[in-house]
Amino acid sequence: MGKLWSGYSFMDKCLPAGRMGAETKFQGKLLLSILRETKGYVTLFELGAGWGRLCLTLAGIVDNGIMPFDGYRCLAVEAEPTHYQWAREHFKSQDIKAELVHGAVSDKDGWCFFHSHLDPRVHYGQEINQLFNHGIPSPHNIMNVLTGKTSVVRTHTVDILMYKYGFEWLDILQMDIQGAEYKALKGAMCGIKSGKIKNILINVHSDKLGFEIKDLLYPYMQLVWDSPRGYRGYNDGYQVWSKNG
């Protein structure tokens, strides 16, 4: 079964009607803007992948000859159990050239509690259940653990995932991970500093986080797009970074 550029890559039978809106299309345009500057064999990491929409999109572009790439390879990371299963089914049915990892992304390999009690057909904002916020215990998140509203999943760093799965470079590192962006970037600094990570597309979930990301990345990359939360009414802010030179 071939990849369907205008159908399967941007839509999903499991989503409620109306979910795929202007913000999703805008994110797709940012992805396409990066791909227009990319040549040869394309590599993509999709963090907080859900059902793997961006991996499916890239596959559709390459396999349908929308852009003249030599091929592609993806890796998707998703912690929510049902969304992870959807991604597995989609990748298998569409014969996607991708690795799929069940877990979360952070600044170190280990384990974490992850929100898993919300209806996966409706909610796409599940996140790591932090027991401490700035060193202060979170009673709400501790209660989530005690009442069975979390599951335990592995945490991975981007640098180790690149090494483990044999990615010598990344054309695009994309992340939509509900506030864990800074820690994920900290776990990608070897690839960022070495220039092996060429472009980063980030969904930014707070203004404060957006400024922290800029402080972290400015010495090594250039910011080519920056829109805050609320731009065009969108829930997320968006940043696109490209390596210097």
pLDDT digits (tens, 9 = 90+) for 160-212: 999 999 999 999 999 999 888 999 999 999 999 999 999 999 999 999 999 99
Average pLDDT, the chain: 85
DSSP β-bridge partners for residue 154: 111
CATH number of the domain within which 70 lies: 3.40.50.150
In one letter, which amino acid is 121? R
Give the structural domain span for 227: 22-243
The answer to whether residue 1 sits within a structural domain is no
In whole angstroms, give the CA distance from residue 191 to residue 50: 24
The answer to whether residue 3 sits within a structural domain is no
- Burial of 167 (C-beta count, 10 Å sphere; 0-12/13-18/19+): buried
As for how many domains the chain has, the answer is 1
The answer to whether residue 13 sits within a structural domain is no
Per-residue pLDDT tens over the stretch 63-75 = 999 999 999 999 9
In whole angstroms, give the CA distance from residue 211 to residue 215: 6
The answer to whether residue 4 sits within a structural domain is no
The answer to whether residue 156 sits within a structural domain is yes
Is the predicted pLDDT of residue 13 greater than 70, yes or no? no
Question: pTM above the 0.75 mark?
Answer: yes
Per-residue pLDDT tens over the stretch 137-163 = 677 666 765 677 777 789 999 999 999
